Amino acid sequence: MPAQRKPGVRPTRRRWLLPSSAGALCATAASVLALGAPDPVRQAQLTTLVRQDCGSCHGMTLGGGLGKPLTPAALADLQVDSIAFIILEGVPGQPMPPWKGLLTAQEAHWIASKLKEGFPE
Ligand code: HEC
C-alpha cells in the first residue's frame, strides 16, 4: 500500500483497517480450508445431497447418466481443487449447474475429495 502517497494528509484509522481486515479475511479463508471437513451432521446431509441431487444426473451409483461418471477412476485426471471448482461454478453451456448458492467452498472440497476416494453410501 502506498502509505506515503499523500504526505499532507493525516493518517486515518481507515488507512490501517483496510490491510488488517484483508489479512483477517485471508486468515479466515485459510482456517476454513485447514478445518478440512464439515461436521458429521452436515457430512450426512451432503452425502444424501450427492446421492440424490447429483445422482439424478450422474446416476444413483454415480456411474454416469446425463452427466459423466463421478467414480474415482473417471475423476483420476482431475485435481480435488478442479472438481470443487466445477461443483461450485457448474459447466457453462452444459446441464451441470453451479452449486455455490447451496454449498460452501469447504463443502465442495469435501465432496470433491470424497468423490476421488469413492463416495460414501
Ligand atoms: C442437471 C444435471 C446435473 C446435476 C444435478 C449435476 N450435474 Fe455434474 N455434470 C452434469 C453434466 C451434463 C456434466 C458434463 C459436462 C461436460 O460435458 O463437460 C457434469 C459434469 C460434472 C463434473 C465434471 C466431470 C468430468 O469428468 O469432467 C463433476 C465433477 C460434476 N459434474 C459433479 C457434480 C456434483 C458433485 C453434483 C451435485 C452437487 C452434480 N455434478 C450435479 C450434469 C449435472
A 10 A CB-CB count for 114 gives 19
- pLDDT of residue 66 exceeding 80: yes
| Distance (Å) from CA 26 to ligand 1 centroid | 29
- Is residue 31 in a domain? no
More confident residue, 62 or 2: 62
| Distance (Å) from CA 120 to ligand 1 centroid | 18
Domain count, the chain: 1
pLDDT band per the 50, 70, 90 thresholds, residue 1: low
pLDDT of residue 8: 54
Q: Which three cell numbers stand for residue 93?
A: 453451456
- Is residue 45 in a domain? yes
- Is residue 111 in a domain? yes
A 10 A CB-CB count for 35 gives 11
Whole-angstrom Cα distance, residue 74 to residue 76?
6
Share the mean pLDDT of the chain.
Answer: 82
pTM above 0.85, yes or no: no
Whole-angstrom Cα distance, residue 3 to residue 8?
12
- Is residue 17 in a domain? no
> Which residues form the domain of 84?
38-117
Q: What is the CATH number of the domain that holds 49?
A: 1.10.760.10
Are 96 and 88 a contacting pair, CB within 8 Å? no
- Is residue 79 in a domain? yes
The mean pLDDT value for 55-66 works out to: 95
Ligand 1: residues with CB < 6 A are 50, 53-54, 56-58, 66-68, 70, 74-75, 78, 83, 86-87, 91, 94-97, 99, 111
